[in-house]
Amino acid sequence: MPTLRSLVERLPPGTGIEVLTAAGLDVPAGPPVILDPGDPQAVDGRGIVLAVGVTGEGEQTRLLGRLARTTAVVLRRPVSPAVVAAAAATGITLLAAGPELPWGGLYTALLGAAGPDDSAGDLFALANAVAAAAGAATTIEDPHGKVLAYSDLGHRIDPPRRQAILSRRVPEEWLRRLYDAGVFHRIRQSTEAVSVTGFDVRGYRGRLAIAVRAGDEVLGSIWVVEGEEPLGREARQALQSAAESVALHLLRRRAEADPERRRREESLGRLLDGTSPEAPGLDLSGPVTVIAFGTGTGDAPADAAAARRIADLVALSGSAYRRRLASTALGLRAYALVAGPRSRACALAGEIADVAARAFAVPVRAGVGQTAPALTGVAAARAEADLVLDVAGPDAPAVVRVEDVRARLTLHRLRGLAERHPDLRQGLLDGLIEQDTARGTAWLPTLRAYIEAFGDVPAAAARVNVHPNTFRYRLRRITELFRLDLADPDVRLVAALELRLLPGEREAG
């Protein structure tokens, strides 16, 4: 079980967690728990309690008193000095969360950080998947012959493979043979699986191998050894399909062990959330386009895991094609910052969405915001890319650009403005709403049909299933009773907006 200190350090960049008291940072920390206000004593003493909905100095102080045996409590900022002092007095580590993530996303991030490092387990699962598809024993190795993972499905192996698995590395004798025969050179030079045969050694069985690469760099290799049947087209296809997935896992393991990479990701997270206008160490200058990627399955842990993998896929693409870009995952979404022409970013968004959807077997959508002229505009561009994904309908294409959803974005922002200023929802339609509610009239449906049909009375009448003459009578009564001059374009515009801002009205047309 990780300590609370290591758990906080493993949180993804941009999570926005601040340590206010550090009394228990070096004690084991259990998984996060969302507070049940009715039964705070039910929390495990090692848990990290997310105090959802607990606001106000008095309420927070009383909660800390009831949770004195808990390792840590997370409150939303701002947290008063009196609450910090109460936490210190009870020995609770107090964590403050900013507005960067909703509680659900914060819970997911903490849950992922509290879990074991499963990168090795993922590699073993991949080795088994390749073995099942190829019908042959599989190993995944680093460039120096270290065995990173191997299959255990019972396929037949030969003495060299058995020795490599037992010692977790290819024996030196076999490494020399492979080098002398030019096998490693052929593997490095080829983008396809290479046959490794012709060794006159007792018990030796033929092999196929493929390089795992990120651009020009070879990260490792995947090997299958011939079993009861010769290695055929299925084995080659299995290796080809697995190479990219293995590359993503090896890049993730390297990133987790690379302090410099972590610092870059943290810097990128601060740039995206607007807490810093700069991102030292990133090779980005001039115009930058932000792409937001999301799966939106509704399963928060699955969406967060997919976001991390998509960010790795973007990094792999940048390395392979020497693109000037950066990527990271924040909460349930992945983000790519692409330098250069906007067309390049849109093309990359399509490539990544397509590859990720096939690789992870979930629908992936990319939202492309406006291009920021410099890094100082990246936070606003990220917010816009998020909004593009938020307003894209279920039938939207895999790549949605801000220019594709301008009308929806404007309505979305107006709804937000109306929520902060409820008086914007009131005005022209008050009388119609009151009479429809009290008397069962149909003034609102009539007005809505008229506006949505662009004033075409026969078409509008058909929408509400009445005769055009009846419809004209209703319009005349609306004008007389409620003083709505529908010949005035300003009145029509405000009426249309008020209709769209009514509670329960659909988000977009």
**21: domain CATH number?**
3.40.1390.20
- In-domain check, residue 184: yes
Among residues 360, 375, 222, 373, which one has the least CA distance to residue 297? 360
- In-domain check, residue 44: yes
* C-beta of residue 66 within 8 angstroms of C-beta of residue 49: no
Give one DSSP letter per residue of 348-369, joined into a string: HHHHHHHHHHHHHTS--EEEEE
Among residues 304, 312, 335, which one has the least CA distance to residue 112? 304
Per-residue CA distances from 407 to 70, 294, 386, 413 (Å): 49, 21, 16, 10
Domain count across the chain: 4
Tens digit of each residue's pLDDT (9 = 90 or more) over 140-186: 998 888 888 888 788 888 888 888 887 788 888 888 888 888 988 89
Position 12 pLDDT exceeds 90: no
110 and 132 inside one domain: no
Query: Considering the entire predicted model, what is its pTM?
Result: 0.49
pLDDT of residue 508: 41
* C-beta of residue 433 within 8 angstroms of C-beta of residue 446: no
Q: Which two tokens stand for residue 318?
A: 């940048």
- In-domain check, residue 431: yes
Q: How far apart are CA 305 and CA 307, in angstroms?
A: 5
Give the gyration radius of the chain's Cα atoms: 30
Query: Scanning the structure block, which residue is given the tokens 């914007």?
Result: 424
Q: Which two tokens stand for residue 426?
A: 């009131």
305 and 343 inside one domain: yes
Q: What's the domain range around 482? A: 422-500
289 and 412 inside one domain: yes
* C-beta of residue 494 within 8 angstroms of C-beta of residue 488: no
* C-beta of residue 366 within 8 angstroms of C-beta of residue 350: yes
457 and 337 inside one domain: no
- Residues 123/129/135/137 CA torsion (nearest 10 deg): 20
- In-domain check, residue 196: yes
Give every CB contact of residue 9 below 8 A, 6+ residues apart in sequence: none
* CATH number of the domain where residue 327 is located: 3.30.70.270
> Residue 361 burial by CB count (10 A; 0-12/13-18/19+): exposed, middle or buried?
exposed
Asked which of 393, 416, 439 is the last residue of a domain, the reply is 416
pLDDT of residue 118: 46
287 and 396 inside one domain: yes
- In-domain check, residue 380: yes
Among residues 447, 472, 474, 445, which one has the least CA distance to residue 457? 472
225 and 151 inside one domain: yes
For range 200-214, the mean pLDDT: 83
| Span of 67-76, 79-88, 409-418, 459-468 with lowest mean pLDDT | 409-418
- In-domain check, residue 288: yes
308 and 441 inside one domain: no
133 and 230 inside one domain: yes
Asked which of 367, 383, 416 is the last residue of a domain, the reply is 416
233 and 272 inside one domain: no
226 and 128 inside one domain: yes
- Residue 378, classed as helix, strand or coil, is helix
278 and 398 inside one domain: yes
Tens digit of each residue's pLDDT (9 = 90 or more) over 330-382: 878 899 998 888 888 898 899 888 888 877 778 889 999 888 888 888 888 99
For range 43-71, the mean pLDDT: 79
- In-domain check, residue 58: yes
Asked which of 416, 442, 477 is the last residue of a domain, the reply is 416
- In-domain check, residue 106: yes
343 and 404 inside one domain: yes
Residue 288 has φ and ψ, to the nearest 5°, of -135, 130
